Structure 1
Amino acid sequence: MLSRPRRNRSSAAVRNLIRETELNAGHLVQPIFLMPEADARLPIASLPGTFRMGIDEVLREIEDCMQFGLLSYMMFPAVPEEHKDKTGTYATAAENFYLHAARAIKERFPEVCLISDVALDPYSTDGHDGVVIDGEIHNDETLKLLDAMSVAQAQAGFDVIGPSDMMDGRIGSIRRALDREGYTGTGIMAYTAKYASAFYGPFRDALDSAPRQLQDVPSDKKTYQMDPANAREALREAAHDAAEGADYLMVKPALNYLDIIYRLHEAHPLPIAAYHVSGECAMLLAAAERGWLDYEQAASEALLSIRRAGADVIISYFAKDYARWS
């Protein structure tokens, strides 16, 4: 027997010599759930170890993460019900705590990369990512609001705008709006293949952003988020987003869609981002709490699989822990 692959696994030093995939803190993004009360730190029951935080706590959290080399953060607003309406007007309001928090973060930590969320659902009484008109999520009316939201976020200091809405044409519309206002250096991370997944539950708990049960209004997001059965459609979405000026293409969720990450990585030269979503993380955490899995080993393997599939950027609730371990 001339070939013995085990010779290349004989020790840690030998294995490290030929390791094909590397994952470090520089590839990771830590999600942050922001709430208006400055000193708040409230646990999310369905996602253990993750909190809704006010800006004072967020600044402390970022400082703590940075000591492990974690420099990138994606922030989501938990908007109180009294600030919500049909068209999400609070998203661009001067008093919006989310925009004020971005300014505070960039003033304190100018070296971090801060990524936004662009969609109406945190601000909408309907809980949808677009404007509901006569029971339909209206694409082109939504684009005007997303443009204004994106410009407001760029003004607040976000480095990268993250349109998560899945409206057609929104990348080109946002790019033009940003460029008109002089924000040519602000990037766009397109949620390119965002699937209508069952794994978003803890996230929606954190933001109270699930679609509302209202008469004549869809109670799910299947008319604009992608069908989990489809793969070729993701390539079509990616081609549109790339042509419209996206700087990153995202796949969401990650673990159940490793094939999609790989397809986009092979088809496009743009950086590929993957969102390791709340439900995917919560399952692993629940198994670890019961002693069925070793948390560090299982979480590390999950993140490595996403990286191996072709993700350049991984957004995960495990980012801080992995950065600390590595």
Structure 2
Amino acid sequence: MVTQSPDSSDPLTPMPNNPQRPRRLRRTATHRRMVRETVLTVDDLIYPLFVMEGEGQKEEIPSMPGCYRFSLDTLLEEIHELSRLGIGSIALFPKIPAHQKDNEGTESYNPNGLIPRTIRAIKQQYPHLLLITDVALDPYSSQGHDGIVRDGNILNDETVAVLVKQALTQAEAGADWVAPSDMMDGRVGAIRQALDAEGWINVAILAYSAKYASAYYGPFRDALNSSPQFGDKKTYQMDAANGREALKEVALDIGEGADLVMVKPALAYLDIIHRIKQKTQLLVTAYNVSGEYAMIKAAAQQGWIDEKNVVLESLTSMKRAGADLIVTYFAKSAAGWLSVAD
């Protein structure tokens, strides 16, 4: 009988009389920090903020405990606190009054509208804050859809023309990154071409490239009062069952000039984050969405889980999967927790 001697060149082959004890490197907190493969930092986090008209207003969102709609003055106070915590980037989302909504989303490119005014005020007071703005029609649409509606259908090219106007308005106001979240075909290329033609060559595009038609978005739509007035968004957002299609969408957006790509949601799509990261050198962003936030908050309020540890574990899992940046409603809390040594 021929016996095969251990292959010393194969690190997975145990050597005789040399038992493997991985616990040696887990003995203390210092050991664990020294050998940690994935490190989450505050620089990885983008904080989404909701802004509304008015003064002195700060309304908690019932389905998102700890998150608020801010009027501009209270929003600036909140950003001061975020700066103190080291959060360097925010993503802005507007709650638009019903009387300003229409099917064409015309308020989305009003240069004196809520978002352009907010951008200018933030940049005047916090010029070094990295400011990301949402490009989509649903907050401005009387139909609650991301595009113009005709005969029950969401129009693509007509919507893209409006999105271009919206992106230009935001760039002119001072946005650093514009983030088209609508999932219309061809919008990244159209926005890039328009930005460059108008001289906004340094405004980056964070493309919501793999945005799924997810049930996890409910609390966000409550926050902005932007739920669809009919049907759903499955004709333009991606089918939750598809993985290869995400690679196709990412490739298209990169080809059209995206500077960063996004996967949304995050926790149920860690495999998609990983697959995309293997295929591109661009930064990959994950959106830890409102439903994911609400579930953790609800369980924590019941005492069923340890909120801090579950949040940090969840965010770390997104980075481990391949996310370079994470948009999360937990950013403010996580920044405080990360400042305390393990």
Same fold at TM > 0.5: yes
In structure 2, what residue type is equivalent to 1:228? A
Match of 1:289 in 2: 301
Query: Displacement of 1:97 after TM fit?
Result: 1.5
Which whole-Å deviations, capped at 9, do the CAs of 1:119-171 have from their partners, x for residues lacking one?
01000001110111222101011110000000000011110000000000100
Query: Displacement of 1:186 after TM fit?
Result: 0.1
Match of 1:30 in 2: 47
Determine the C-alpha separation between the residues in 1 that align with 2:111 and 2:288: 32
Name the SS for the 2:223 alignment partner: helix
Match of 2:104 in 1: 87
Name the SS for the 1:56 alignment partner: helix
Determine the C-alpha separation between the residues in 2 that align with 1:315 and 1:210: 21
1:189 aligns with 2:201: no
1:48 aligns with 2:65: yes
Name the SS for the 1:246 alignment partner: coil
Determine the C-alpha separation between the residues in 1 that align with 2:77 and 2:294: 24
Match of 1:126 in 2: 143
Which whole-Å deviations, capped at 9, do the CAs of 1:280-305 have from their partners, x for residues lacking one?
01000000000000111111111111
Kindly tell me the number of residue pairs found equivalent between the two proteins: 321
In structure 1, what residue type is equivalent to 2:100? H
Match of 1:206 in 2: 223
Determine the C-alpha separation between the residues in 2 that align with 1:101 and 1:193: 28
Match of 1:216 in 2: none
Structure 1 spans left out of the alignment, 5+ residues: 214-218
Query: Displacement of 1:2 after TM fit?
Result: 2.1
Pairwise mapping of residues 1-326 of structure 1 onto structure 2 (< 5 A)?
A: 1-213=18-230, 219-326=231-338
Which whole-Å deviations, capped at 9, do the CAs of 1:289-325 have from their partners, x for residues lacking one?
0000011111111111111110001000000100011
**In 1, are the aligned partners of 2:263 and 2:287 still within 8 Å (CA)?**
yes
Q: Which runs of 4+ in 1 moved over 4 A?
A: none
Determine the C-alpha separation between the residues in 1 that align with 2:116 and 2:56: 17
Determine the C-alpha separation between the residues in 1 that align with 2:198 and 2:257: 16
Which whole-Å deviations, capped at 9, do the CAs of 1:161-190 have from their partners, x for residues lacking one?
000000001000000010011000000000
Name the SS for the 2:66 alignment partner: coil
- Larger-gyration structure (1/2): 2
Instruction: With the length of structure 2 as denominator, give the TM-score of the two structures.
Output: 0.93
Name the SS for the 1:150 alignment partner: helix
Determine the C-alpha separation between the residues in 1 that align with 2:54 and 2:277: 40
Query: Displacement of 1:38 after TM fit?
Result: 2.8
Give the aligned CA root-mean-square deviation in angstroms: 0.7
Instruction: With the length of structure 1 as denominator, give the TM-score of the two structures.
Output: 0.97
Which whole-Å deviations, capped at 9, do the CAs of 1:246-266 have from their partners, x for residues lacking one?
011100000000000001111
